[in-house]
Structure 1
Amino acid sequence: MIIRFIFFHYFLIAFLLPVLRVPCAETAPEELIRKAGNADDDTERLKILKQLQTMPGLDETLRKEADKLVVVVDRWVNDSQLFQWFDKDMRKKQDYDFGVGPDSLLYPITCIYRGRMLVWTANEYGNIKGYHDERRRYFDKATAQFRVAAKAFPENHIVRMYLGEPIPSDKVYTSVPGAPAWAVAQREGLERLTDIVLWWIEHRLQKDGQYGGGWDDDCEMWRSWVPVMIAFEHPKMTEAQEFFSSALLSQESMKDGYTRHVYDVEHTAEPTSDTITPMMHLRPDDPAWCMRAMRLAELMETLWAGRNERGFLQFKSTYFSAQKVDPGVARACDVPYNIRAIEPALILWLRTGDEKLRKLFTAWLNTWVDAAAREERGKPAGVIPAAIHWPDGVTTGTGKDWWDPRNSDEPLLYEWPSAMRGMCDALLLAHHLTRDEKYLQPLRTMAAIRLEWLNASSKKPEPGSRAWCGHKLYFLAGTLAKYKLLAGGKEFDELLGRDYKLITEEEKDPGRPRLAKALGATAEALAINFPGWTSEVRWTDRVFTFGRLFGEDMLFEKRVSACDKRPNLDLLYTTATGDRGEFAVFPLNAVRWLTEPRDIAALVVDRGNDHFGAELFHFGEKTRAMGSELYLLKNGRYTFTVTDREGKTVAGKKMFTVDGPRTKIAFELPPHTLCTLKVAVQE
């Protein structure tokens, strides 16, 4: 009996144990690879691939490939640089060495990453995305990679998203009784944008202040945050922006108040303008930020600009730093893009009316008014030129055409009408602060040229001609819309009616169905493909470009309507603040709402220098204590009231005094009630 017992246990150990050690179907390499490939989350995929690495009895070739693939996936997940490690390979050979052969079980996983690398590289570079053949070379290869991955891993939603199958949001925002349609749509858009911004702060903001795209691209991210960071008050966003701005400006290359690297203004201006400008809104009374803005004016006055042979003040070059101006003849011209170098100082001028800034900026803008009036080198009279050559002051660069100055390594960047929106806004700003009509003259002549084109036949115009300029002057409407806010009247109504397509509060129907539809389209765009706005992004200056990848002749030759949805962030900002046109150079936001952009909708319906009006809806369940900071009111005594839809007083008449550029008031909103805030000057 004992012998049989010993023999039986020996049999179990000697014969059955090796069988038990054989991996079961659930832990076989193929199953782990399927799990890794079907995982939507890259961190989860990395974890599974590491399990594969340590699997007993794994084929040695497969183990070596897994080792190499883990390194790449780990970089995708954990590298502080989002794209820099694969960028050169992608641009040079449209591929990356994963160390995995095409016949490997792991090859379809490499397709997930190769496809994404191709997409985001092409999406970043204009010399790829801007040319059909190059674009197709990248995007066709990318979609082929995604199809291989989708066949192997049909449960991977990220892969299917790139192939045009949208990922819906888990969050649903429903209406509440009494909420107008525009408020429901705007609230959803604000909430979803807030979610995206907070994702970046919580998942990508690093200890040194960067977000992973490099300082020069990271600094641009705030431009998309404006509807929730500038129109409203969110402490975490303000803190993150101040941290980032301070960190970038503390870099050794920035310690002179502007970069020490000599390059073209489009690139050298970003680290200062995209750090100081947001802080001029978030910390307008902080002397440190005001001094940084003033430093840019000082550099312009003492280094960057000089009097040309015509006696006018102009920038000497398109290439400059905090320490020198490039003396090259080809780059010796002033361009509208130079407005970016002094953008924060222009806002300081707007906020303070500083006399020194007035003298400097009006002297420079006088140069552009004079140049616009002249017919020279083929440039039509009345058109702001693409460049003013230094030192002769001629309205051209070194190129043969007035509209192509040939002043940069990226020539398309400075061709007319590059950066013309900013120049037009600067001229309007000068008129607003000086009341000098000459600053309106270029705007008026270009508006007339634009109307001529709109009323003429649609023949293809000769480049550089008056008709050609009219064809391209569509951008002027944003500046003219600002002018209408300031001056009223109907001077540009015909042009605005045809060119300014932004749907605003100015609808006759109190239900505002067109506005609700437009805001709803933005909410709908932000309600799908959350990873496309967040974790999938590799270049931080392309955060809100995912939707356009599905337009005509982009990722696919034909438009994919299910994913070609693009949020109109300008609409969120303009409805909440009452501003029009561009935000950067001449902001005319009438208000900042001193509350977080959650459970709230705000629509400015009236604004001026002696009055203000807005509709507000609070979606929460309890009374909301909030306030507003008003920007456009002239000095004086005012009253404000908050009433409901029937005109019943919610917050009784209160008095306050305006004695500066910003004035705060506080009030409460009841839940689920459409309210109207009215501010009026006291008679």
Structure 2
Amino acid sequence: MVVWVTLESGGIWNQQNRRSEYLEAARGFLRKYAAAFPENRIARMYLGEPITAPKRYDAVPGAPDWAVWQRESLERLADIVEWWIDNRMRDNGEYGGGWGDDCEMWRWWVPVLIGFDSPKIAAAQERFSDALMSQSHMKSGYTTRMSDVEHTAEDSADVITPMMHLRPDDELWMRRAVRLAELMRDRWTGRNERGQLQFKSTYFTAHKVDDDAQRACDTVYHPRAVQPALLYWQRTGDPKLTELFGDWMSTWVDAAARAERGKPAGIIPSAIHWPDGQVGGLGKDWFDPRNHGEYTLYLWPSAMSMMTDTLLLTWRMTGDEKYLEPIRSMAAVLLETLENPPKTEPKPGSVAWCAQRMGGLANTLAKYRFLTGRDEFDRLLERTMSPYMRYRMRGDRGPMTETLRQTAEALRVNFEGYTSEVRYTDRVLRFPTLFGKGMLAEPAEPSYTPNTLLLYCMATGDPGDAGYFPLNAVRWLTGPREIAVLVTDSGPRTLEADLFHFGQAPREMTAELYLLEPGRYTWQIRISDQRDTPLSTGRFSVSGPRTRIAFEVPCRALCRLNIAAVREH
């Protein structure tokens, strides 16, 4: 249990001395146990002796390496998800970790939940989401249990958001999303002393806002409170939400621009205090608001990517360039520091100190690049882009394929570390982080952590994650087994994807398309290395936010699906 407490507690895990102390104690216990019970493989697993899964996924002729590794990763990920459904889902819909932790599991289910269509996994998510929203503390659409926004928002955001992907036209889930915007407008926010709209506290419920001055902060975590409403806004363009979210983001644009309390101009703070509107909280440093007992949660940069993605979404929905200003100023700071690294350790709160902690900015910049085609951030993206983004921008499959191999290797071992040994359901895929120099054990072979984000990006074409401002171009309405997919191009008038079916008979498939603008389109399937007559072709029209096409792919041959707009004469 000491191991899992260490993984769970940010106050332990994020402080090297405390983490080392706890892991050293755990190591001692495990060594004694392994000596007393040498036949127990689980104890040895914790000490760095991996347990390899008996099932193998061998390469088949014609399958590229990326497809082999992706297929194995998807199937092993699905195995883990289904283990939790089969062995831990209770009659009331919980998985045993408590609603507040169980609800987070969908975040790593995303590749098989949103990228593909597994009826079993989708049904489990729907059952869980319905069950949690039916709990007495959720009857008002948001929790009635007082805590900080990172925790109060989970029970709604992490059940409504996945259902808006699975059931995008369901009125119930859309109403639940809009309800959060209503609470934000009517209860959680107000005009500060500068006349700007902001959240009044980090602590609030469906019925009450905490009035403790120490907790009175709007933060970069607050987009989580309205995450489903942001997705609803992205899809509908609701003008009332444009006014609400645009007003709120204007407050953050202003706070980012100000040099205040030692914060450099152009840096988004992690908190804005209420009601004075100053950057930071009541802590002595601007970057450490001290608005929560576990202070590292809101310590800069905190959940900065939530804020930068929300700013990008607001720019997209309004067309107002001012919402890009904080993203541009922070990108400039990061690039300057990467190209001219400081020679000494930067002072906390300084420009260089902030730049060293801006890793989450890359996904926001990648989304901007895909949306616009503009190259203004390319110098920075060259240094920080994800493996999938590198493939899409440069055609370089090397890092992507290597990361897939590492993901497959991570999921190939220590199945129990992702299932029966887990003690906190918001840490299911964290087990591999225990291994390495200075950690619980240093195994003979390298230890990798599964990269589920890459699996999602490859399957859907989204350059970033599915949480905020998702740009998933497609969902494959087929199960996540014996299949590998790589979206090679996506945009408002085109989609291209490579597909490899590992089965021994042709496969009927349907693709649900999300980003195509209204118009007429053609599609064709062809063997990738053949330029002659395609295997099949078709025409279709797009008139709404989602369109489906059905087709067949042959077995064990790399195929390309090409969708293109019909040129009107």
Give the TM-score taking structure 2 as reference length. Answer: 0.96
Of Structure 1 and Structure 2, which has the larger fraction of its residues in helix? 1
**Residues 555-609 of structure 1: CA deviation (Å, up to 9, x unaligned):** 13xx325362211111111111111223211111111111000000000000111
1:293 alignment partner in structure 2: 177
With a CA cutoff of 8 Å and minimum separation of 6, indicate the structure with the bigger relative contact order: 2
1:544 alignment partner in structure 2: 429
Aligned 8 A contact 1:550 1:561 in 2:
no
1:207 alignment partner in structure 2: 91
Aligned 8 A contact 2:457 2:465 in 1:
no
Report deviation, 1:541. Answer: 0.6
Letter in 2 for 1:680: A
- Report the more deviating stretch, 664-673 or 643-652: 643-652
1:254 alignment partner in structure 2: 138
1:520 alignment partner in structure 2: 405
Query: Using the alignment, how far apart are the partners of 1:158 and 1:325 within structure 2?
Result: 46
Question: Does 2:18 align with 1:134?
Answer: yes
**Residues 638-679 of structure 1: CA deviation (Å, up to 9, x unaligned):** 111111121344443311111111111111001011110011
**Residues 265-302 of structure 1: CA deviation (Å, up to 9, x unaligned):** 01100100111111110111110000000000000000
Question: Does 2:130 align with 1:283?
Answer: no
Letter in 2 for 1:284: P
Pick the aligned partner of 1:463 from 327, 348, 362. 348
1:165 alignment partner in structure 2: 49
- Report the more deviating stretch, 161-170 or 296-305: 161-170
1:607 alignment partner in structure 2: 490
Report deviation, 1:354. Answer: 1.3
Aligned 8 A contact 1:482 1:581 in 2:
yes
Report deviation, 1:513. Answer: 4.0
SS in 1 for 2:562: strand
Query: Using the alignment, how far apart are the partners of 2:406 and 2:491 within structure 1?
Result: 29
Question: Does 2:127 align with 1:243?
Answer: yes
Report deviation, 1:505. Answer: 6.8
Aligned 8 A contact 1:462 1:468 in 2:
yes
Question: Does 2:522 align with 1:639?
Answer: yes
Unaligned stretches of 5+ in structure 2? none
1:595 alignment partner in structure 2: 478
Report deviation, 1:133. Answer: 4.1
Question: Does 2:535 align with 1:628?
Answer: no
Matches within 5 A, 1:20-419: 117-419=1-303
Aligned 8 A contact 1:397 1:406 in 2:
yes
Query: Using the alignment, how far apart are the partners of 2:284 and 2:265 within structure 1?
Result: 18
Query: Using the alignment, how far apart are the partners of 2:461 and 2:119 within structure 1?
Result: 22
Flag the 1:128–1:400 CA change in 2: closer, same or farther, 3 A.
closer
Question: Does 2:545 align with 1:661?
Answer: yes
- Report the more deviating stretch, 145-154 or 236-245: 145-154
1:490 alignment partner in structure 2: 375
1:568 alignment partner in structure 2: 451
Query: Using the alignment, how far apart are the partners of 1:513 and 1:444 within structure 2?
Result: 29
1:91 alignment partner in structure 2: none
Report deviation, 1:412. Answer: 1.4
SS in 2 for 1:604: strand
Flag the 1:535–1:648 CA change in 2: closer, same or farther, 3 A.
farther
Report deviation, 1:529. Answer: 0.7
Report deviation, 1:484. Answer: 0.5
SS in 1 for 2:279: coil
Flag the 1:563–1:208 CA change in 2: closer, same or farther, 3 A.
farther
Letter in 2 for 1:610: R
Query: Using the alignment, how far apart are the partners of 2:550 and 2:160 within structure 1?
Result: 28
Report deviation, 1:509. Answer: 9.6
Aligned structure 1 segments of 4 or more residues deviating by more than 6 angstroms = 507-511
Query: Using the alignment, how far apart are the partners of 2:44 and 2:305 within structure 1?
Result: 39
Matches within 5 A, 1:549-560: 549-556=434-441, 559-560=442-443
Unaligned stretches of 5+ in structure 1? 1-116
SS in 1 for 2:509: strand
Pick the aligned partner of 1:581 from 449, 452, 464. 464
- Report the more deviating stretch, 462-471 or 269-278: 462-471
- State the structure with more CA Rg: 1
Query: Using the alignment, how far apart are the partners of 1:596 and 1:419 within structure 2?
Result: 33
Query: Using the alignment, how far apart are the partners of 1:260 and 1:592 within structure 2?
Result: 35
Determine what percentage of the aligned residue pairs are the same residue: 56
Letter in 2 for 1:577: T
Flag the 1:415–1:657 CA change in 2: closer, same or farther, 3 A.
same
Flag the 1:347–1:419 CA change in 2: closer, same or farther, 3 A.
same
Report deviation, 1:510. Answer: 7.6
- Report the more deviating stretch, 292-301 or 640-649: 640-649
Letter in 2 for 1:500: M
Flag the 1:264–1:153 CA change in 2: closer, same or farther, 3 A.
same
SS in 1 for 2:221: helix
Flag the 1:258–1:471 CA change in 2: closer, same or farther, 3 A.
same
Letter in 1 for 2:423: R
SS in 2 for 1:547: helix
Query: Using the alignment, how far apart are the partners of 1:611 and 1:509 within structure 2?
Result: 19
Flag the 1:507–1:370 CA change in 2: closer, same or farther, 3 A.
closer
**Residues 335-391 of structure 1: CA deviation (Å, up to 9, x unaligned):** 111111000100011111111111111111111111111122221111111222212
Flag the 1:509–1:350 CA change in 2: closer, same or farther, 3 A.
closer
SS in 2 for 1:218: helix
Letter in 2 for 1:625: E
SS in 2 for 1:615: strand
Letter in 2 for 1:152: A
Report deviation, 1:506. Answer: 2.2
Aligned 8 A contact 2:392 2:488 in 1:
no
2:318 alignment partner in structure 1: 434
Aligned 8 A contact 1:181 1:511 in 2:
no
Report deviation, 1:419. Answer: 1.1
Letter in 1 for 2:156: T
CA-based RMSD of the aligned residues comes to 1.6
Query: Using the alignment, how far apart are the partners of 1:511 and 1:429 within structure 2?
Result: 28
Aligned 8 A contact 2:391 2:400 in 1:
no
Give the TM-score taking structure 1 as reference length. Answer: 0.81
- Report the more deviating stretch, 152-161 or 526-535: 152-161
Query: Using the alignment, how far apart are the partners of 2:240 and 2:469 within structure 1?
Result: 18
Aligned 8 A contact 2:88 2:96 in 1:
yes
Query: Using the alignment, how far apart are the partners of 1:388 and 1:504 within structure 2?
Result: 33
SS in 1 for 2:538: strand
Query: Using the alignment, how far apart are the partners of 2:419 and 2:74 within structure 1?
Result: 16
